[in-house]
Amino acid sequence: MPAIVVVGAQWGDEGKGKATDQLGSDVDYVVKFNGGNNAGHTVVVDGEKYALHLLPSGILSPGVTPVIGNGVVVDLQVLFEELEALESRGVDISRLKISASAHVIASYNRTLDRVSERFLGKRQIGTTGRGIGPTYADKMNRVGIRIQDLFDASILRQKVEGALENKNSLLVKVYNRRAADVDRVTEELLAYAERVRPMVADTTLELNKALDEGKTVLFEAGQATMLDVDHGTYPFVTSSSATAGGACTGSGVGPTRIDRVIGVIKAYTTRVGEGPFPTELTDEVGEGLRQAGGEFGVTTGRPRRTGWYDAVIARYAARVNGLTDFVMTKLDVLSDYAEIPVCVAYDIDGTRVEEMPASQSDFHHAKPIYEMLDGWKEDISHCRSFEELPEKARAYVEYLESISGCRISAIGVGPSRDATIVRHALVPGA
């Protein structure tokens, strides 16, 4: 049975949660392998809307074991708030597993995130201020706090003290803020130890054993390809590996075990935060797309920037992730347009460029080259097969497939769990 990776193929908010949720009945484990509560998934089940931030989408599927992998950074307060909210709505949360090696977001990480972002002024990156970047920085600087550290008060205090040695100087002398108290921070973290203990496991061992036993494991990325710390629009990126390679490092499952890589992509494009965005629409057309698509952040409520479909980005995502399939979402949002522009290449200083520029400076100056496709101006939310779609909607999908570097195996035509057209099975043998 397969190991499947689901990643965002644009700048996030593509509908990965819905895609993962739809696969839930065919998988045994769903693993979040990167990021933290700096992004969110909205999943609609039987007309009920669930907003997930830190938890894997698989927690909504009965019988699925949801896993928070070692590559995730965990805000314990957010974790328990989210769990309590789901439990109050009758969701079974008892199967959740958390890697003992996942790093913890401490209160000083959140403080540093907010004050350092303000300090940047015009050079702001557009972070969510939730402490994600500083926690990953601590991890790489080897002064991070891990889940397993919560179970030894003496070790925990030593680690907090070591982490704050330089941070307090920075907070006081550079940012003019109050120093964080070692004892208070230690007590804050220890307060969660016994609550989280039953959930903690050697998830690397459990996931590999599950694959050995023929079970299906789905790896769910937070953020997206264009926000990946290595392959995204640096420095306007997240602090983790949001591409398919991150599934291996963030879970402890080797690359030879991955069978399929699914990229989730909208029928148009959005992004949140600062940074380049070649097809961005800053006029009333962009606002109309935002309103029609409900393009507001699940985690922050921030309005998303909107633009037309960008095939250059799609081809890039297919390449760096090794995609086997695309899942396209929100095709129904485009139903009101007589003509729909599609970006097929960039104009960079008078030169036509069909692949992602290697230079970030060139990407900043990229202007979209559009092909115009006919719209269909029909409601498609009821369609459940490709043949039911209007001819021009089918032509739009087929054209995008031909220029995006990968087959489009499923198409979302509405927010509900069943509002999906499946062209090719996403789980082998399902």
Residues of the chain with CATH 1.10.300.10: 103-196
Q: Judge whether 13 counts as a catalytic residue.
A: yes
Residues of the chain with CATH 3.40.440.10: 3-11+26-99+201-261
Helix axes 182-190 and 107-120, enclosed angle (nearest 10): 120
| Dihedral angle over CA of 180, 183, 187, 193, nearest 10 | 100
pTM higher than the cut 0.75: yes
Please give the annotated binding residues, written as ranges: 12-18, 38-42, 128, 142, 223, 238, 298-304, 330-332, 412-414
Instruction: Give the pLDDT band (50/70/90) at residue 149.
Output: very high
Instruction: Give the pLDDT band (50/70/90) at residue 429.
Output: low
Q: Judge whether 41 counts as a catalytic residue.
A: yes
In the set 53, 97, 103, 139, the catalytic residue is: 139
Please give the CATH number for the structural domain made up of 266-422.
3.90.170.10
Please give the annotated binding residues for IMP, written as ranges: 13-16, 38-41, 128, 142, 223, 238, 302
pLDDT tens figures, 54-107: 998 888 888 899 999 999 999 999 999 999 999 999 999 999 999 999 999 999
Report the mean per-residue pLDDT for the chain.
92
> 3-11+26-99+201-261 is classed in which CATH architecture?
3-Layer(aba) Sandwich (3.40)
Instruction: Give the pLDDT band (50/70/90) at residue 45.
Output: confident
| Residue 155 CA from chain centroid, whole number | 32
Residues of the chain with CATH 3.90.170.10: 266-422
Q: Are 105 and 132 in contact (CB under 8 A)?
A: yes
Residue 18 has what pLDDT? 75
Q: Judge whether 364 counts as a catalytic residue.
A: no
Percent of the chain scoring above 90 in pLDDT: 75
In the set 41, 53, 231, 266, the catalytic residue is: 41
Bridge partners for 65 per DSSP = 29
Please give the annotated binding residues for GTP, written as ranges: 12-18, 40-42, 304, 330-332, 412-414
Q: Are 43 and 52 in contact (CB under 8 A)?
A: yes
Please give the CATH number for the structural domain made up of 103-196.
1.10.300.10
Tokens of 407: 């087959």
pLDDT tens figures, 389-425: 999 999 999 999 999 999 999 999 998 878 999 999 8
